[in-house]
Chains A and B, each alone.
Chain A
């Protein structure tokens, strides 16, 4: 199974600052069709996860442009610029390139 390693495990950020989360895969996530199927989700406290980013860098409808996904191959990053209070929660990367599909272990974002 593909292992997604997220760092850091937790992150404490001042409002208005930038946060950066890394997701490293044990295998390349580029599929044979040339696309890379890496997604990012945010699970706010007590809620279901919500989709932020799909195919590495495409923001889902309604997601603020403060959320930027990047990367290729095995190394991916989610950057959140100008962190706001509603950004707190646990962020997960998720790959759907290889069966079985796997989530990273999560990064908890806290506001200082």
Chain B
């Protein structure tokens, strides 16, 4: 069965960077887009961008461009999202998700809580 297993909670300092992971299993990793979604505390959902593991193509919501870098490691079927120049605004739960095709996020990771605090 398709599973997306995300890395654990991160407590990081302002101005630093963090890299969170999303390990995929149960399907051919290179065949489906991986999307990333943010949920700030007590708030709604916000789409960040996608990466296509087959060729590394990426697309970012302009708001997150420069803040976010999406990569994959095909050898371990893992997608990564790096967030840089962290501020308290970046404190959130970050989800990875896989679509049925490109969209239709049928499969989600459990979420990774990132807390930015000195």
Q: Are A103 and B104 in contact (CB under 8 A)?
A: no
Are A39 and B104 in contact, with the CB atoms below 8 A? yes
| Distance between Cα atoms of A99 and B65 in the complex (Å) | 14
Overall SS of chain A's interface:
loop
By beta carbon, the residue of chain B nearest A62 is B106
Cβ of A100 under 8 Å from chain B: yes
A105 at the binding interface (Cβ < 8 Å): yes
In the complex, the answer to whether A60 meets B61 with C-beta atoms within 8 Å is: no
A106 — which chain B residues lie within 8 A by C-beta?
A: 44-45
Over the window 91-107 of chain A, the binary record of Cβ atoms lying under 8 Å from chain B Cβ atoms (1 yes, 0 no) is 01010100111111110
Chain B residue at minimal CB-CB distance from A105: B44
- A49:B61 contact, CB within 8 angstroms: no
Residues of B within 8 Å of A41, CB to CB, are 45, 105
Contact (A101, B47) CB under 8 Å given A48-B110, A49-B95 = yes
Taken together as a complex, chains A and B put the C-alpha atoms of A90 and B106 apart, in Å, by 17
Task: Report the Cα distance A98→B100, complex, angstroms.
Answer: 19
User: Across the interface, which residues of A come within 8 angstroms of B46, CB to CB?
Assistant: 103
Q: Are A100 and B45 in contact (CB under 8 A)?
A: no
Which of B59, B95, B103 is the most central at the interface, judged by chain A CB atoms within 10 Å of its CB?
B103
Chain B residues, CB < 8 A from A99 = 59
Partner of A103, one of B47, B59, B103, B106: B47
Q: A92-B44, A100-B47, A100-B63 are in contact. Are A50 and B100 (CB under 8 A)?
A: no
14 residue pairs from A and B, CB less than 8 Å apart:
A37-B103, A39-B103, A48-B95, A48-B97, A51-B100, A54-B100, A60-B104, A61-B106, A94-B45, A96-B102, A99-B59, A101-B103, A103-B45, A104-B44
Q: Which 4 A-B pairs have the closest CB atoms?
A: A48-B108, A54-B104, A100-B61, A103-B45
